[in-house]
Amino acid sequence: MTDPIAIQPSELDQLPDRDPEETAEWQASLDAVAKAAGPHRAAYLMRRTLERAEGNGIALPKLLETDYVNTIPTAAEPSAPGDEEMERKITAWNRWNAAAMVTRGSKYGVGGHIATFASAAWLYETGFNHFFKGKEADGSGDQLYIQGHASPGIYARAFLDGRLDEQQLDNFRRESGGNGLPSYPHPRRLPWLWEFPTVSMGLGPLSAIYQARFNRYLTARGIKDVSDSHVWAFLGDGEMDEPESTAALALASREGLDNLTFVINCNLQRLDGPVRANFKIVQELEAQFRGAGWNVVKSLWGNAWDELFRLDTTGALVRRLREVPDAQVQTYQTRDAAYIRQDFFGKDPALVEMAKLLSDDKILECFHFSRGGHEARKVYAAYKAAVEFKGAPTVILAQTVKGHTLGEGFASKNANHQMKKLTVDEFKTMRDLLELPIRDSAFVDGVVPYGHPGADSPEVRYLQERRAALGGPAPARRVHPVAPLPAPADKAFASFDKGSGTQNVATTMAFVRLIKDLVRDKETGKRWVPIVPDEARTFGMESLFPSLGIYSPKGQTYEPVDRDQLMYYKEAQNGQILNEGITEAGSMADFIAASTAYATHGEAMIPFYIFYSMFGWQRTADQMWQLGDQLGRGFLVGATAGRTTLTGEGLQHADGHSPVIAATNPAALSYDPAFAYEVATIVRDGIRRMYGEAAPGEDPNVFYYLTVYNEPLPQPAKPSVPGIDEGIVKGLYRFNTAESAGLSPVANAPRIQLLGSGTAIHWVLKAQRMLAEEWGVSADVWSATSWTELRRDALEADTGLLRGEERVPYVRQALHGAEGPVLAVSDYMRQVPDQIAQWVEQDWSSLGADGFGLSDTREGARRHFGVDAESVVVAALAQLARRGEVKATAVKEAREKYGL
């Protein structure tokens, strides 16, 4: 066997070499440089050569890392417009009031964060003064994803702008009185200011990517031209550890989202200590983003470093900066000049000589203060480069000091994220550093004062003039007056009232058929946004491919393999379907962007996101909470629902609990419809409530969760029962009685009320017949479309009693006087129907699929969990036996008869 080390590289190279001699000359030159000038010089030449090749468009793999220096050198920085000194004063006031607000609130024990905004103040101020477009200009303005822990600084700026007063600042994190401020960006709590909830780390960057993508979708489909909107996401370097933070980087570059900029505040610290103690987070992030195809702009060092770089004639400084780990950089921030001379400069003879030319003050200025993220001109240069770059999204890696300007007790200390206040002396030191005209006498009884230069001061006038030029205040959430959408034609819904006759139809298919009709509606059809995570064929949606098209910014550049088929795979630049691939998180981010378009863009869109029910709430419940916070509207559809209905798939696919998780979200209206007409009734009412004329007292800022099943069964016609639509929407109605079903065994027979939801209604109906024909028991069957809505209504009634309001819960009204005990059955854990037990006046019992799922046939799984028709019969007889209405021996006889 040939020794691979002895083989020349050209022998292993799969690429043909048309001039080996020239290749050898280049290689020899590199060897010579390395030998004569050292490996650092050779590496330098290679980097510069690769950069030149990239600049000339020569197809080579990109460098994943560049040197640990600014992308834009000082000589190439554009002049920033405006008055930098005025902006410095504004930033100083904001720094002060942010720290004062949190410190004053600390006496109530409500917490707050000071250090994050202190590091990022210029990142925000530069944007507010020169880049962030407001909502009052043409178009939709920019979308700002503010880092959650920086909220005090945003409140401070709104205070300076006159949008908040001192009382509101003093009520930071104390909202119950009605005039407070939420801890973080929460649109539901402060809907005129915050657009996007971001403090659940990782969701902000993911949502920002899909928001930028949805902006392109709206423009491509002709709904609204929002091509001037830019999405800005402000993130922490520690936050980038969350998997969601980087989950969609490739999507952003693949689709060329140059309407998107990430600004990552690289203060090198997370909550407990350094982000990358032994490594360099900036270099890691640069490689990650460049590898994903993003444009990367690094703004690391301030102007004070220019002198050091001029003195670096050997490259020793750049090499040293690249090799020092982040935790040591933090240590320099807290140590004196002597330590820095020894530890940083003392490692290389060339740096020792350089340090001799530097005063202690210069060294401290560089290592304690001078960072790219703290200088307006450098931040402006980075932002300008970002908005002007075309063809890819941009990430700005801005190096800062966490706790900057807060004093030696805060800056770069590991514990500064948990530090909630400054002492009076620390505030006075901060005041002097920021050159603020706040007198010592303003500190009354040791309480730090808020600072304001006056409503008519030059600072406030400048701030307001800059915002007026950019289209109004920011951040801001605006719900522009939008006429209610016209209700779709009744025909689309009424067709389901007839039932399916002898045809077997699953409720999943019924929902898809309804959507097919709704997207053809002349008035509202174009506003539907179908979202699916690569399972459209599973849900029977492939027929929508050729008619609606799958959105792709490139359209269809290939001939699909199934082009000759009726339901071929069709991509289009104006496609309506968002088929996201295997990403429930990405699909939910899509849904959030679409569901809030009524506020973000003044365009009401009707998204529905259909997914395996097991992989919805269990996997992305945090995003559902984000959706509720952001006041989103639309339909989430958990398909292939139930613990026993998805045959063969096993434990991780068998959903027996999603309605339990959904019940925890106050904005989610959770339904488990049994029949196609129920699906249609719920969707129609959802469209009315969210997009039409909501009834008095109804909150339109809700979203619907429907569970639908993949079990084909005959769909009955809608019963002619008074108030059936109200019952479907409120959660319960009587589907039939023993008499109306033709099942009256004998006079004065024992009677029981059977409640079923979803596919369980079919087991209940079979049990109803078996009870009558085999055991002489009369049973009435009720369809429980929403256990959760029944519970919420009952809870509201109970709460009303505390206020002296008398109201009987709907579930008690509906079941009032119903004869016999109640047995509730669902394909979910018993906790789901048991939600309403305390408000049911009859004896209560329930059956459900508790525990882990398993692979089996539907019949086998239902027998395993004890929810099949035979199990329902035995449970019903047991209830009646406890009441003395059937013989106790009947229960044993039934168990033996059915093999239970």
Write down the pLDDT at residue 4. Answer: 40
Maximum Cα–Cα distance across the chain: 110
Write down the pLDDT at residue 791. Answer: 98
User: What residue ranges of the chain have pLDDT lower than 50?
Assistant: 1-12
Q: Secondary structure of 117-149 in the HEC alphabet?
A: HHHHHHHHHHHHHHCCCCCCCCCCCCEEECCHH
**Nearest CA to 786 among 644, 681, 867?**
681
- Cα separation, 595 vs 703, whole angstroms: 9
Measuring CA to CA, how many Å separate 650 from each of 224, 634, 647, 853, 856? 44, 30, 8, 6, 8
**Nearest CA to 782 among 810, 807, 752, 808?**
752
Pairing of strands 713-714, 504-505: antiparallel
Write down the pLDDT at residue 867. Answer: 97
Write down the pLDDT at residue 415. Answer: 52
**Nearest CA to 364 among 399, 408, 406?**
408
Torsion of CA 877, 654, 713, 715, to 10 degrees: 90
- Cα separation, 643 vs 653, whole angstroms: 8
CB 460 within 8 A of CB 162: yes
Instruction: Provide the token pair at 653.
Output: 């696919």
Measuring CA to CA, how many Å separate 160 from each of 92, 154, 201, 233, 465? 11, 10, 28, 23, 13
**What is this structure's pTM?**
0.94
